[in-house]
Chain A
Amino acid sequence: MLNSVLVANRGEIARRVIATARRLGIRAVAVYSEADEELPFVAEADEAVLIGPPPPAKSYLDSGAVLAAARRTGAAAIHPGYGFLSENPQFARRVLAEGLTWVGPPPEAIEQMGDKINARNLMAQAGVPVAAGTTEPVTSADAALAEAARIGYPVMVKAAAGGGGIGMSVVRDPDGLRAAFETARTRAERFFGDPAILLERYIERARHVEVQILGLADGRVIALGERDCSVQRRHQKVAEETPSPGVGAALRARMLAAAVRAGAAVGYRGAGTVECLVDPAAGDFVFLEMNTRLQVEHPVTELVTGIDLVEQQFRIAAGEDVSFDAAAVQPRGHALELRVYAEDPVRFLPSPGTITRWEEPVGAGVRVDAGYAAGNQVTPFYDPLLAKLCVHGPDRDQALARAREAVAAFRIVGPRTNLPFHADLLASEEFSSGDYDTSIVARLRP
């Protein structure tokens, strides 16, 4: 097993990775920016290194500073968490070139999946269904109009190098497309340094369902069930659950098999997620993208399988077998994750501030992955995720009942949070019925 790991991330995910590292006897090194000095993940690591000022480009995205911290502390491995440097193939290569263990997939797999146009083309070749769309970067509004006419409206406009819903939009006619194309291009350039745009047929009333895969040290790829991530605002996930209420046994089997083919096609190792859109009306699915890292919502899979996914990442990175029998994984019960964001619960606008009171819910089946505690400052420099409130129950109804109680018991005073939104979501007929799609938030907050 690895003897030490540097966690190149912050907040709840750094804390969560550090917890498993320490449980396994792996020395955990945290890195932090000047804005994060007081956060729990810094205190809970065996060692912590200040790597720069608050803006991400000067700290968590500064690969030189992260690698210098690894050298200084003698860390043997780097776990990138999600976001920041996690899907940066150049960074992964530098880590490997320094003789460190990269707790992630091969850089080539990150690269192949990072360009969404390339990933779509590759998946189609591997026999994974993809939506009608562009096979090359769209470079002008005129080209976009011609492609959209071929694909058919409505279409989704996206950055090929994108993520986090930035610059994404749905357009229903040529006028809308011109504006959306320019917006997407500007944002793609700004956030991802790459203006390449792709268009894809938009599926109405779709569910966003993803499959957790693990590429094992011996080269096999396995699938550990799906997560339904259809509750989204601004194309960003707010709540997730497993199993998906919209996926039956036959569709699940096809999706899991396709996700395994997707991973195998790029020689995947470690934890990854194959995101799909499910058309419940047609009982069918298409590949959306692959996230070549640990996913924010991985705890719901952990709750129903009893598998610690971070432990498996460490084992696979060290060339070892996973801790469970891959042929005998049997998910049990139902799990939900509610993302607690520092934002107002109506318009979902950011709400930084000082946390004066923080009381987490406790109880059977309740797990809270929190990045903050009372006294901490929530700054405007990073994403608004404060904590992930996760619940497990023997079935969906009981999981929902536990979630309602847990939301009511979670007290955060200081920044405004979206907990009242979660209470409304859990009380809504649409979510309770399980028959919902990616527009549910727009219907709850018209």
Chain B
Amino acid sequence: MAEVRAEMVANVWKVVAAEGAEVSDGDTLVILESMKMEIPVLAEGSGTLTRLHVAEGDVVQEGDLIAVIE
């Protein structure tokens, strides 16, 4: 199981992957936006995206859980 966490305070601009989807290492899961910059959040490892903790428009804090890949 791999947890994907936010690297910084940011707004969730776009949710790219869907819960339950098969993802590969390096796939874009979510795109965050902070300080007018888009920051893609990538899958670290391959597997099933069992949980997606954020929705578009959410604000995430540094360290917040974004997704779980199993």
Q: Is the interface of B mostly helix, strand, loop or mixed?
A: strand
Q: For A352, list chain B residues within 8 Å (CB).
A: 8-9, 34-35
Contacts of B37 on A, CB cut-off 8 Å? 234, 349-350, 384
In whole angstroms, how far apart are the Cα atoms of A353 and B7 in the complex? Answer: 12
Does A380 contact B39, Cβ atoms closer than 8 Å?
no
A350 engages B39 (CB within 8 Å): yes
**Known contacts A349-B7, A380-B9, A343 near B35 by CB under 8 Å:** yes
Assembled-state Cα–Cα distance A342/B37 (Å)? 12
A148-190 contacts to B, CB under 8 A, are 164, 166
Q: Do A380 and B7 touch across chains, with their CB atoms under 8 A apart?
A: no
In the complex, which range does the number of interface residues on chain A fall in?
10 to 19
B8 touches A351 (CB 8 A): yes
A324 within 8 Å of B (CB atoms): no
Q: Say whether chain A's binding surface is mostly helix, strand, loop, or mixed.
A: loop
A429 close to B (CB within 8 Å): no
Which residue of chain A has its CB nearest to the CB of B10? Answer: A380
Nearest-Cβ distance from residue B33 to partner chain A, whole angstroms = 8
Q: What is the minimal beta-carbon distance from B43 to any residue of chain A, in angstroms? A: 18
Cross-chain pairs A/B with CB under 8 angstroms, 16 sampled: A164-B36, A166-B36, A343-B35, A349-B8, A350-B35, A350-B37, A350-B39, A352-B8, A379-B9, A380-B8, A380-B33, A380-B35, A380-B59, A382-B36, A384-B35, A384-B37
Residues of A bordering B, CB below 8 Å: 164, 166, 234, 342-343, 349-353, 379-384
The 8 A-B residue pairs with the shortest CB-CB distance, nearest first, are A350-B35, A380-B34, A350-B34, A384-B35, A352-B9, A380-B9, A383-B36, A380-B10
Q: Identify 20 new A-B residue pairs, CB closer than 8 A, beyond the known A382-B35, A384-B35.
A: A164-B36, A166-B36, A234-B37, A342-B35, A349-B8, A349-B37, A350-B34, A350-B39, A351-B8, A352-B9, A352-B35, A353-B9, A379-B9, A380-B33, A381-B11, A381-B35, A382-B36, A383-B35, A383-B36, A384-B37
- Which B residues contact A (CB, under 8 angstroms)? 7-11, 33-37, 39, 59
